[in-house]
Each structure stands twice: as C-alpha cells, then as structure tokens.
C-alpha cells in the first residue's frame, strides 16, 4: 500500500468536503491502526498509529494501562465471582467490578514491569510500547482501513457542516428549491440541504424547483442523520437582514433598525433611528426614488413596508407608527395604553383593513393603542356626561330612599319604645291595685 499516494488522495477528498487537515490525518491514522491490528496484532490490543503527512512514514504503538495488584482480581476472587449465580450476588459482582479489573496482558501492565520500560510512569497512566512498522497489508486489512476512512470522513463532514451552519444562525443565505415534501420545502444551500417548514413559509408564496430565494437560518440542530438546518421566510428578522444588504448605512451602523412588526406576506412596519449626525434614517432606508426599499419588497414578493422614524418620546413614536395616517393628538393613559386622535377622514386609514395598521403599530411600539376622532370623542364625552347624570340621579334617589327608610325605622323604634312604656305603666297600675286590695282585705 503506497501511503504517500493514499494520504494525498484522502487529503484531496477532505479538501473537497471541507474537512480540516487534522481530521484527515486522524482518519488515516485510525484506519492504518485498524489495518495493522487486523494483520499483525492480537485480540484485545489497543494500537495507535502516528502518520507523518510529509513523508508518509507511520509509527505504531501498543497502549497498555498501568495497574497495581490492588486494582486487579486475584485467582480466588475470580473463582468466587464465577460461583455467584443469584441476582443479589450478581449485583454485588457489578459493584466489585467497578472497583477492580480483570487483568488482560494485552491491555494492562503491572507497575513494576512498566517502570522497567519507563521509570517515571505512575499507576493509572498509559504506557506506549513502540511496535515494528509495516508497509504491506492484506486485502481484508485494506478493506477494513477503507471502511474506517469512509466512516470517519462521513462523521467529519457532518461535524464540519454542522459547525459551519451553526455559526451562521441568524444570517441570510441563498438557496435553490430542490423538492417539496408534505408541505415542507427543501433548499440546496451549498454543502447541505435546508428545510423550510410550512410554519415558516409566507402565505401565498409559491415555491417551484429551480427557483432561488433568500432565506433566514433560523436554527441548526444535530440529528442522527446529520445536521438539520431550519430555514425561514416569515421570521421578522429577515427584514432587517435584507435591509442590511441593500442599505450601506444600516450595515455600517449609521442607521439602526429599532423594532419590527410583521404580518408575513401582507405588511411590515420597521422603526429606524439615526446613529450618525446628518444621516436621514428614513431617506437612507428608502433610497433614491425608492430603489432600496423596492429591492426588499421585490425579494418578499410585493409585501408592503412602512418605514417610520423611532423616537424616545412615546407620544411621537406612537404618532409616527400609525403612518400613513395623520395624527392630531396622542394621550398617554395608565397600564401602557395610548389614545390616538385622528381626523374623521383618516380614521379608517389609521385603523387599516381588518385593524391591521393599528395592530402592527401596537406591536411595533409595545403600547396598546386606541384610535378615535374628535367627532367620536365628542359623542363619547356627551355619552359619558349623560351617563354621569343618570348615575347622579340614581344615587340621589337611592340616598332619598335610604333617608325615608331611616325615618321609617326611627318611627317604628319610637312606637315600639312607646308601647313598651305603656305596657310597663299597665303592669305598675295592676301591682298598685293588687296591693291596695290586699290592704283592704286585711
């Protein structure tokens, strides 16, 4: 077996697959060690190989664990273990085996023997015993080496792909539709396939094999079948990544996207803020004649995008968020609620179709927004005044009723007291009459 050619061929394959040189060398070493053991080694041996990639020369070692007599079973202990048959004794056996080992001369070496080879070695360390190098290997050994190499290369390739795409989580990637299975779309994204689940697709967007799309790498997970790369077209952050591509001021940090509210496939609102003096955040995002924002809209299949200016002042920010509607006044109320007054002819525009505009504005700002007009406010105020008047009348009636009730109770109490006095008077009168009668009889 020509090791130099072998090394060169594997290195070429690894380069094509994007695997590191260290992984290639490790793969070849594992394969050659397996081939050496197959032809020249013994059962139970642990053999390691070290390859010099420049010369193609290989050195071999047998690895033995250094033990002392306390760590291994004596003949008597082994005999006792063989005699144990019931479950409880088997359990005890497992506990003993955790503490001690069965001595195998191919895997273990006593400390006194090990120190004859390496004087400073300690118990528990590994002793490397150099073996004679071989250059010729049998057909079975070569086949074993080939299988080891292919397996290691597959593992290394999967690991390299996982690490590459894991580092790209949260980034944009370009992909070509390869196939569609059970509603999920599989994209060719270079070294691997990515999946766009149904839940991350844009409603109404059509995917056909061969079409190219920009995709957001949502997450990368390891699975037994290799890396799973989950893509998204609906995730809100795809908007900021697309603007970073189209707007240099955003990618350079002169303009920042502070928040995004999106209903994928329909409409998006983004709040932008200038981080550099003299830079217009909205103008930068829109571009000359709208070229920059149009590029993003086209990539998203015509999805509407409203670009508004961020402000630390909640009233101003909320007013801006309802664009394109004009706002007359913003009233901040308790519990993170805001009342926005707009002209009557702007009311439907501020609310939007099926409440979409105000709903997105609420998501963008983080405030609960109620929209009203001056006319509507006047009516509501009138209704509130009428309601207050009714409540006052009801309260007055209630208070009057309570007063009457109290007077009635007081009257009843007086009558009761008067009755009690009369009864007491009658009793006294009877007692007096009885006393006089008794005197007369005497």
| 422 pLDDT above the threshold of 50 | yes
Q: Which residues contact 265 (CB under 8 A, 6 or more apart)?
A: 202, 203, 204, 205, 234, 300, 301, 303
pLDDT score for 2: 54
User: 């506990």: which residue's tokens?
Assistant: 95
Min mean pLDDT across 345-349, 405-409, 413-417 is at 405-409
| 395 pLDDT above the threshold of 60 | yes
Return the sign of the alpha-carbon dihedral for residues 208, 213, 219, 221.
positive
Please say whether the beta carbons of 61 and 131 come within 8 A: yes
pLDDT score for 96: 43
Give the pLDDT confidence of 117-130 residue by residue, as tens digits: 888 888 878 888 88
Averaged over 322-331, what is the pLDDT? 90
What are residue 126's DSSP bridge partners?
A: 65
| 89 pLDDT above the threshold of 80 | no
pLDDT score for 120: 83
| 259 pLDDT above the threshold of 60 | yes
Q: Which helix (H) or strand (E) holds 138?
A: none
* Cα–Cα distance measured from residue 154 to residue 6, given in angstroms and rounded to the nearest whole number: 17
Please say whether the beta carbons of 244 and 280 come within 8 A: no
Confidence of residue 197 (pLDDT cuts 50, 70, 90): very high
What are the distances in angstroms from CA 359 to CA 282, 305, 333, 347, 368? Answer: 22, 15, 18, 14, 9
Residue 373, phi-psi category: left (phi > 0), alpha (psi -120 to 50), beta (remainder):
beta
Give the pLDDT confidence of 17-74 residue by residue, as tens digits: 677 777 777 877 887 888 788 777 788 788 888 877 666 677 888 888 888 877 776 6
Averaged over 249-274, what is the pLDDT? 94
pLDDT score for 87: 45
pLDDT score for 314: 93
> Domains of the chain, with CATH numbers?
3-161 (3.30.1480.10), 168-232 (2.40.50.140)
DSSP type of residue 72: B
| 312 pLDDT above the threshold of 90 | yes
Averaged over 261-279, what is the pLDDT? 94
What are residue 339's DSSP bridge partners?
A: 331, 370
Most confident of 108-112, 147-151, 357-361: 357-361
* Closest listed residue to residue 342, CA positions, set 357, 322, 359, 356: 322
| 200 pLDDT above the threshold of 50 | yes
Q: Is the peptide bond before 324 cis (omega within 30 degrees of 0)?
A: yes
Please say whether the beta carbons of 181 and 187 come within 8 A: no
Q: Which residues contact 237 (CB under 8 A, 6 or more apart)?
A: 170, 216, 260
Per-residue b or e along 404-414, where b marks 16 or more CB atoms closer than 10 Å to that residue's CB: eeeeeeeeeee
């Amino acid at each position: 077996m020509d090791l130099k050619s072998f090394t060169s061929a594997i290195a070429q394959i690894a380069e094509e697959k994007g695997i590191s040189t260290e992984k290639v060398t490790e793969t070849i070493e594992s394969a050659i060690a397996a081939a050496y053991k197959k032809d020249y080694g013994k059962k139970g041996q642990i053999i390691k190989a070290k390859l010099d990639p420049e010369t193609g020369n290989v050195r071999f070692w047998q690895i033995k664990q250094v033990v002392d007599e306390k760590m291994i079973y004596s003949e008597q202990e082994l005999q006792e273990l063989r005699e144990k048959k019931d479950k409880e004794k088997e359990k005890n056996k497992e506990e003993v085996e955790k503490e001690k080992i069965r001595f195998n001369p191919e895997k273990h070496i006593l400390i006194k023997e090990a120190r004859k080879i390496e004087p400073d070695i300690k118990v528990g360390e590994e002793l490397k015993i150099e073996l004679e190098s071989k250059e010729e290997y049998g057909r079975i050994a070569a086949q074993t080496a080939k299988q080891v190499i292919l397996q290691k290369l597959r593992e290394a390739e999967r690991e390299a792909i996982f690490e590459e795409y894991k580092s790209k989580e949260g980034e944009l990637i370009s992909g070509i539709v390869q196939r569609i299975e059970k509603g999920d779309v599989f994209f060719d994204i270079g070294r691997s396939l990515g999946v766009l689940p149904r839940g991350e697709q844009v409603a109404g967007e059509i995917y056909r094999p061969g079409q190219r799309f920009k995709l957001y790498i949502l997450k990368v997970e390891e699975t037994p079948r290799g890396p799973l790369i989950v893509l998204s077209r609906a995730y809100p952050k795809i908007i900021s990544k697309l603007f970073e591509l189209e707007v240099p001021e955003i990618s350079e940090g002169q303009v920042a996207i502070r928040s995004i509210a999106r209903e994928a496939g329909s409409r998006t609102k983004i709040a932008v803020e200038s981080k550099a003096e003299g830079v217009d955040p909205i103008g930068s995002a829109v571009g000359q004649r709208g070229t920059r924002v149009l590029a993003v809209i086209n990539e998203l299949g015509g999805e509407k995008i409203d670009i508004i200016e961020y402000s630390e002042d909640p009233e101003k920010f909320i007013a801006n968020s309802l664009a394109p509607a004009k706002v007359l006044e913003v009233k901040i109320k308790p519990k993170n609620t805001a009342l926005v007054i707009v002209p009557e002819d702007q009311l439907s525009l501020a609310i939007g179709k099926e409440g979409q505009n105000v709903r997105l504005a609420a998501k963008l700002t983080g405030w609960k927004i109620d929209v009203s007009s001056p006319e509507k406010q006047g009516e509501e105020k009138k209704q509130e005044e009428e309601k207050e008047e009714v409540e006052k009348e009801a309260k007055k009636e209630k208070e009057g009723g309570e007063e009457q009730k109290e007077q009635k109770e007081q009257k009843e109490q007086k009558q009761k007291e008067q009755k009690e006095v009369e009864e007491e008077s009658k009793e006294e009168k009877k007692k007096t009459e009885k006393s006089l009668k008794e005197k007369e009889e005497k």
